[in-house]
Amino acid sequence: MKNDSVSFVFFGTPEFAVGVLDELQKHDFLPSLVVTAPDKPRGRKLVVTPPPVKVWAEERGIPVFQPQKLDQEAMVKLKAENSELFIVTAYGKLIPKSILEMPKHGTLNVHPSLLPKLRGASPIQSSILTEDKTGVTIMLIDEEMDHGPIVAQEEFFGLSWPPKASVLQNALSKEGGRMLSEILPKYIEGEITPKEQEHKKATYTKKIEKEDGLLNLSDDAEKNFRKIQAFDIWPRAHFFHESCGKKIRTIITDAKFKDGKLTIKKVLPEGQNEMTYEEFLRRNS
């Protein structure tokens, strides 16, 4: 089967999804349509900004669809694509059963954990916080969260643990795209039988909140290091210190953990430039 003969629609929004698309393109798989979130105001100036997947698609001349809701109008458009398969990677919206079951071969999802472990919204951060390994699962989506049968799964090796979330995200997105490229022809030809998950072994993640990044520097050193690594994209591991009667938020940008000891190397105090932790301590002694 030629790669360009696999007709699929891709649903995705952030950088993680772009990494998957990049790998698919390397193996000559390109979607006929990209479905992504609407443009949103971002940053302090609230500049309306397209999602990364939209930028990726437009650079390659691939049509983009940005529905506010996956309603009847969206269903009509998606059905008109007459695709064999839908692929979902970090889309960010709940997809109704009527759409999931629309293509002949259903809807596949790339999930950055070893399902049934770490179902839910924050598998990458949660793996860094609580696990000593992770991987990628490609599953056939059903109506329950990260519950569908597994089409392919691989443990990921290649980074010292625990890595920064940004590094792990990049690595797992490439791994997911590579795995998709390998299994798509076999899956379309019916050579792969999806295998039900061991649901009794399922664990769940929660949505990361801004306050999760707050550190108590007296806490367990490994726990704090894992937080620094897990939250390096957002909400950034931080602590507060007093300066001129004000509480100043200080982000830890670099640290190491060795022999049970956490060493903070660099910090970014609010309203200042990044500096070494030693310099920070001198200024605030």
> What does DSSP assign to residue 142?
-
CATH code of the domain containing 275: 3.10.25.10
Q: What are the pLDDT digits (tens) for 7-24?
A: 999 999 999 999 999 999
Range(s) of the domain holding residue 45: 3-201
Average pLDDT over residues 204-221: 95
Q: Find where tokens 């399922």 sit.
A: 202
> What does DSSP assign to residue 37?
P
CATH code of the domain containing 55: 3.40.50.170
70 and 91: one domain?
yes
Note if the pTM is more than 0.85.
yes
Rounded Cα–Cα distance for residues 11 and 268 (Å): 36
pLDDT tier at 2, thresholds 50, 70, 90 = very low
153 and 27: one domain?
yes
- Give residues with Cβ within 8 angstroms of 8, minimum separation 6: 29, 31, 32, 83, 84, 85, 86, 87, 103, 184
Q: What are the pLDDT digits (tens) for 190-201?
A: 999 999 999 999
Q: Find where tokens 């999931």 sit.
A: 100
Q: What are the pLDDT digits (tens) for 224-256?
A: 999 999 999 999 999 998 877 788 999 999 999
98 and 170: one domain?
yes
50 and 169: one domain?
yes
Specify the number of domains making up the chain: 2
Query: What are the DSSP calls for 181-219, one per residue?
Result: HHHHHHHHTT----B---GGG--B-----GGGGB--TTS
Q: Which of 118, 121, 162 is nearest to 136 (CA)?
A: 118
